[in-house]
Amino acid sequence: MFNQQNRLQILKMDFLMKQKLTLVGIALLVVGLLFIFNEHKTPTEPVLLTKTNDEQQLSHSQIARQTQTINQTDSILPNISPQEMVRCDGIAEMFTDPIIEDSFNKYSANQDIYFDNIKQQQTQQSRIASAFIKKNKSIEADIVNFDQLLQTYPSNKLIAFNLMLHCGYSTVEVCDETMMQRALDIDNQNGALWLQMAIYQLKSADVEKAKKSLVQFVHSQRYNEYSGDYFSTIDLALKEAGANDDLSLKIAMLGIAATRYKPNYSLLIELCDKTDTDNAALLNICLQTSQRLIESKGGLFTHQMGLSIQKSMLEKYGDSEGIANNSSAQKAFDTFNEEANIAMNMVLRSRKRTGDWLSLNIDYGELAALEYMIDQAKQASANHQQDQCAINW
């Protein structure tokens, strides 16, 4: 009993540590920029993308054509390690640029006006954005708000997913099964919603139903956490409220996005870790669930949780080859995170690169956007004739 409890505690600590590791780079970048703003009042293969005019952002068709190359070809560039990538240090120097400083001062002075404008518009887009921007004092009040929005806009998939996502952190009494099923029915081919249903059922202590939902998750046609819809909703709402489409708006949007809930994997981790090897059916569901999370392209956090759960399951099976492969995948993912943090430091210094990254994030998700930006950063690092850290807004 001691060993099982000890293993559970270790895995939970690993869960929390990996959560911090996967998010810390970009999160710290965003928080750092926001702080300065206030003071100023298993990864996929590299992508090969066509270069565009430095003065223009990628068009939707260009992004579509370029993103189709992901996983289809290796980069023509020699493999560049994170140590060889150009590192743009000193984010604070961006705010010595008078254009950027004026932009942030204006946004800071008018932020409450923008938020009030969004709230007063009362369109579908603005009401959804307002629910994300101005959260209530309790998660239960947010859930009631999302449920009311879903009843008003019963086909909105972004609301449905976020309602279920919030229910993963609240009491079962607030989120009843009828509410959850209504949200699930809006996009029942999406594995992300089946995963949230399973988490809700685990909170309800209904393991049998949770197992069935996990099987649905494993065999789902696709996985979409609607991060792109989330970004585009906030971005459009702020623009329509009067905010300039500049760096201050992008950083504000990232700051709002940083407050969005992530899937609550703690109960799933606990279920899988407590499963003995004599329960082969459930152990197999846990292993398949971890693999589906890794393959889902849901984002950095989802990918990391898949690797962590997979490692625990392979250890239960005593699969030394699988454990070694998992360890290699984890090391590769850690490198991917390091490269992503270096690339994003370069990206935010350029209007074009920031626009490209957000467009890809909206249309194709977090991982595809980061893959593209890492590749672009490596190409830039190979060009020693230009200052890749120059501020160009």
Contact 16, 262 (CB under 8 A): no
> What is the rounded radius of gyration, in angstroms, for the C-alpha atoms of the chain?
22
**Tokens 């009042």 — which residue?**
41
Per-residue pLDDT of the chain (393 residues), as tens digits, is 445 455 445 444 454 444 444 343 444 344 344 433 444 333 333 333 333 333 334 443 333 333 333 333 333 444 788 888 999 865 666 777 787 788 888 888 888 888 898 988 888 889 999 999 877 778 899 999 999 999 999 999 999 999 999 999 987 678 999 999 999 999 999 999 999 999 999 999 999 999 999 999 999 989 999 988 998 999 899 888 888 888 788 878 888 888 888 899 999 999 999 998 889 999 999 999 999 999 998 889 999 999 999 999 999 999 999 999 999 999 999 999 999 999 988 888 888 888 888 889 888 888 999 999 999 899 888 888 788 888 887
Give the max Cα distance, the chain: 66
Return the ∠ at Cα 378 (arms to 372 and 380), rounded to 5°.
Answer: 100
Contact 202, 285 (CB under 8 A): no
CA atoms within 13 A on the CB side of 365: 16
Q: Which residues fall within 8 angstroms of residue 122, CB to CB, at 6 or more apart?
A: none
The CA distance from 230 to 249, in Å, is: 15
Tokens of 113: 């006006």
Domains of the chain, residue spans? 2-121+226-381
Task: List residues bridging with 350 in a β-sheet.
Answer: 392
Task: List residues bridging with 392 in a β-sheet.
Answer: 350
The pLDDT value recorded for residue 90 is 58
Residue 108 class from Cβ within 10 Å (0-12 exposed, 13-18 middle, 19+ buried)? middle
SS (H, E, C) the chain: CHHHHHHHHHHHHHHHHHHHHHHHHHHHHHHHHHHHHHHHCCCCCCCCCCCCCCCCCCCHHHHHHHHCCCCCCCCCCCCCCHHHCCCCCCHHHHHHCHHHHHHHHHHHHHHHHHHHHHHHHCCHHHHHHHHHHCCCCCHHHHHHHHHHHHHHCCCCHHHHHHHHHHHCCCCCCCCCHHHHHHHHHHCCCEHHHHHHHHHHHHHCCCHHHHHHHHHHHHCCCECCCCHHHHHHHHHHHHHHCCCCCCHHHHHHHHHHHCCCCCCCCHHHHHHHHHCCCCCHHHHHHHHHHHHHHHHCCCCHHHHHHHHHHHHHHHHHHCCHHHHHHHHHHHHHHHHHHHHHHHHHHHHCCEHHHHHHHHHHHHHHCHHHHHHHHHHHHHHHHCCCCCCCCCCEC
Contact 62, 52 (CB under 8 A): yes
